[in-house]
Chain A
Amino acid sequence: MKISKIFKGFSADKWGPLLALAILFVISAFASPYFLKTRNLLNILRQVSYTGIIGLGMTFVIITGGIDLSVGSMTALVGGISILVLNALGGGAWAIFAAILAAIAIGAAFGAANGLVITKGKVAPFIVTLGTMAIFRSLTLYISGAGEFRSQSNLFPQLGMGYFLGIPIPVWIFIGLAVLFWLILNHTKYGRYMCAIGSNERVAKYAAIKIDKIRFFAYVIVGITVAVTAVLLSSRLNSISSSNAGQNYELDAIAAVIIGGTAMSGGSGSIIGTVIGAIILGIVNNMLNMLGVSPYLQGTVKGLVIIGAVLIQRKNNK
């Protein structure tokens, strides 16, 4: 009775993901003595940064009632092209800078292409991005001759491998972007409008909100987050594999958003939730590795976590 009362004042939407993370953290700490080692924790954070950053953009898209399946292949293509730019310019500091700018421009352009067909062509986001998912991967394979984009820069890897104040650079970028996206979602007109469109598009239209523009930019934004991830990933490996890079990133990004409590139906969402969702997925992966579970089974566990998270949310909303 008393316990149920405590839980009554406790909104599952808001605190559920954090609670899940806390429980998972404690279990992991008991399950493996290595889990709590700083190096391991930092590794997990670095690992989740890549899809976590895309998850931030994905949160926006899902809030507007859309979806983007193309982010994985887009990561490979944008990463590949940025390495080509880097090599063409000689691989120095300026070349790196130019490669980053090029990546962001291309990512935004790819996102814009998705957004344009979805808003102006009025094709369902699922279909459009399913199509571009195939297109981006195929172009990556074609350009590289199904091989690897290999960077000739010695400086480039320092970005993805480097540390600042003892924390990996990708993690800093993840945190920085998360704060920025949180600000946009909760404290700007744009964030409010996205929620309005996802909740009730007709009300938004009558309220003089430019629906197409808002939705279009959500896809541009997710394209930019893909570009950031693509740069971090290619600089960490100093190469991009045309067949493997970004594989299943769409799954991880969408999973992070969903586990974080953002509704698939759109209308509301939480950036903090997405960050927590990404970390939960990272810890699960980490534990499976440490416990020696076959890598082939990791997808099964991930799938169960996603379905379980949604089931729990459903129950709580009843």
Chain B
Amino acid sequence: MAEQILQIKGISKEFSKVRVLNNIRVNIERGEIFGIIGENGAGKSTLIKIISGIYVPTEGELFFEDKRITEFNPQTAREFGISLIPQEFNLINELNVFENIFLGKEYQKSILLDKKKMIKKAEDLLSMLHTDIKPTDKIQNLSVAKKQMIEIAKALAYESKLLIMDEPTTVLTGSEIELLFKLMNRLKEKGVTIIYISHKLNEVREICDRVMVLRDGEQIEIEDTQRMDEHKMATSMVGRELSQIFPEKNQPAQETVLKVENLSVRGLLEDISFDLKKGEILGFAGLVGAGRTELAETLIGIRKKQSGKISIHGKEVHIKNPSDAVKHNIAYLSEDRQGTGIITSFDMTGNITLNSLRDYCKILINHKREKETTKKYVDNFNIKAASLKTKLEFFSGGNQQKVSLAKSLDTRPEIFIVDEPTRGIDVNAKREIYHFLKQLASTGIACIFISSELEEILGMCTRVVVMREGNITGILDENEMTEKEIMLYATGLKGVA
């Protein structure tokens, strides 16, 4: 039997008397990649926060290399050799790579910094990661994937024996994910243990040796990934058979609602033309950086178009700012939930009526009507909240997304642009969102559905527009839509503009 690096013995955690984690028992072996899956609110984050010393457990013990961890703070965890690669990176943009890697543990020659030694050490670390990043590169010039590399290099600089990765692939493109997995396997060969948390079950299956399923703070099962498939994992997470994830597709009407002709935005979009029908869910596929979000932002007036024509119901419209978009009944569900979608320090009502507040006012806001609206959405969307007054920062990702959806819909749009609507949320919430969208489409709302998950584009859309580097490379009908075909257009192997 392999050596155990981390023993979790009956760990429980309570927040103000509410038990969010109950009696977790697992031994993690040196050099394995251990997956943790579960719906939002299942306790994954709480567990890794305990392991990385951010939270103190209410009950139970942790042993790292047979030594009991008695002090819970990030410094102690780091000294033990435990590092967390967070979802939101802790890098200082203004500093360069080696300064970030050695932040807080700089090498010194008497009182001066020993830059040479740090650059040399950083080079060693980076070459171990097989990347072309230079120690003197500025962080702000690096791509998201490279920033993640720096976080990993930082952890290795501390000689970490246990890396905890929290949803590392949500921000990466397909080829970047492949690189990350290669790197994880190399680290594994070197004896580094990795705890891997993800919503993407296919990835968990691909990379992890074992997987633990959490549900409502309980440890449901631990299984070799070889003996699990995605369906089994999903069922175990939800605790019941998932009824069909995707609803039946809605057949769009003939009537064209939105027509975009030769739209260009300097440096971002080139000669974009497509039309959108009433009741249609039109997919937009492409790699990260293909210009899909930029297109959406142009349609709602955040970005200035350079040329081209946008018509709604055959009449040309000029959308210069988000207010114009609202006037023309266009709503946008942002991909960046916390950055541009919701205000986390507001409660549900404040968020839901943010775009539509003028409908609730004469001079004063009609708080009663606002509250009724909120209740309506809570019921319709099955939003789970402690109370109506709870701030959004205490909501799970899936529930935040539902509030964001409610906010966009409360303007009663005719054209609804959803951008990565299911990113970072669990299977159950995903399923619910698919069904809402279908429901909207069947009432005649025209949807633009931007997604990087081909599976959901195939499951939801009757037509898909594929973009690459600011161009449309193909528009595929339902009978031409396959995962392979879309990828060929998305990577530029087919239909070069």
* Interface, chain A (partner B; CB < 8 A): 183, 187-189, 192-193, 195-196, 199-200, 202-210, 267-268
B339 at the interface (CB under 8 A from A): yes
Within 8 Å of chain A (Cβ to Cβ): is B386?
A: no
B414 to A: closest C-beta gap in Å: 15
B residues adjacent to A (C-beta < 8 A): 300, 302, 321-323, 325-326, 332, 334, 339-346, 350, 354-355, 357-358, 361, 363-365, 367, 407
A203 to B343, CA, bound (A): 7
Q: How far is the CB of A6 from chain B (nearest CB, A)?
A: 15
- How close is B4's CB to chain A, nearest CB, in angstroms? 35
Q: CA A209 – CA B345 in complex, angstroms? A: 17
Known: A192-B365, A199-B345, A203-B340. 20 other contacts (CB 8 A): A187-B364, A192-B354, A196-B343, A196-B346, A196-B350, A199-B346, A200-B343, A203-B339, A203-B342, A203-B343, A203-B354, A204-B354, A205-B322, A205-B340, A207-B355, A207-B407, A208-B322, A208-B325, A210-B323, A268-B345
Among A195, A199, A208, A268, contact of B355 (Cβ-Cβ < 8 Å):
A208
Across-interface contacts of B346 in A (CB, < 8 A): 195-196, 199
Which are the 5 A-B pairs with shortest beta-carbon distances?
A208-B322, A187-B364, A208-B323, A207-B354, A206-B340
Chain A residue with Cβ nearest B349: A192
Q: CB-nearest residue of chain A relative to B411?
A: A208
Residues in A neighbouring B344, C-beta threshold 8 A = 199-200
Q: Are A205 and B354 in contact (CB under 8 A)?
A: no
Question: Which single residue of chain B is at the shortest CB-CB distance from A191?
Answer: B365
B339 CB to nearest chain A CB (Å): 6
Q: Is the CB of A267 within 8 A of B354?
A: no
Q: Tell me the complex Cα distance, A196–B346, Å.
A: 8
Asked, given contacts A205-B302, A208-B323, whether A192 binds B350 with beta carbons under 8 Å apart, the answer is yes
**A183-B357 Cα distance, complex, nearest whole Å:** 16
Residues of A within 8 A of B300 (CB): 206
Q: Which of A192, A199, A205, A207 has the most CB of B within 10 A?
A: A207
For the complex formed, measure the closest distance between the CB of B227 and the CB atoms of chain A, giving whole angstroms: 44
Partner of B322, one of A196, A206, A267: A206
Chain A contacts of B341 at CB under 8 A?
A: 203, 206
- Residues of chain B within 8 A of A210, CB atoms compared: 323
Q: Is B358 touching A189 in the complex (CB atoms < 8 A)?
A: yes
CA gap between A210 and B341 in the complex, in Å? 16
Nearest-CB distance from A171 to chain B (Å)?
26
Given contacts A187-B364, A196-B354, A203-B340, A267 and B323 within 8 Å (CB-CB):
no
Inter-subunit contact B365/A206 (CB<8 Å): no
Residues of A within 8 A of B367 (CB): 187
Q: Which residues of B contact A204 (CB under 8 A)?
A: 343, 354
Q: Which residues of B contact A192 (CB under 8 A)?
A: 350, 354, 357, 365
Distance of A108 from chain B, by nearest CB (Å): 20
Chain A residues with CB below 8 A from B342, complex form: 203
B-side contacts of A207, CB under 8 Å:
322, 354-355, 407
Determine the chain B residues whose CB is within 8 A of the CB of A188 once the complex forms. 361, 363-365
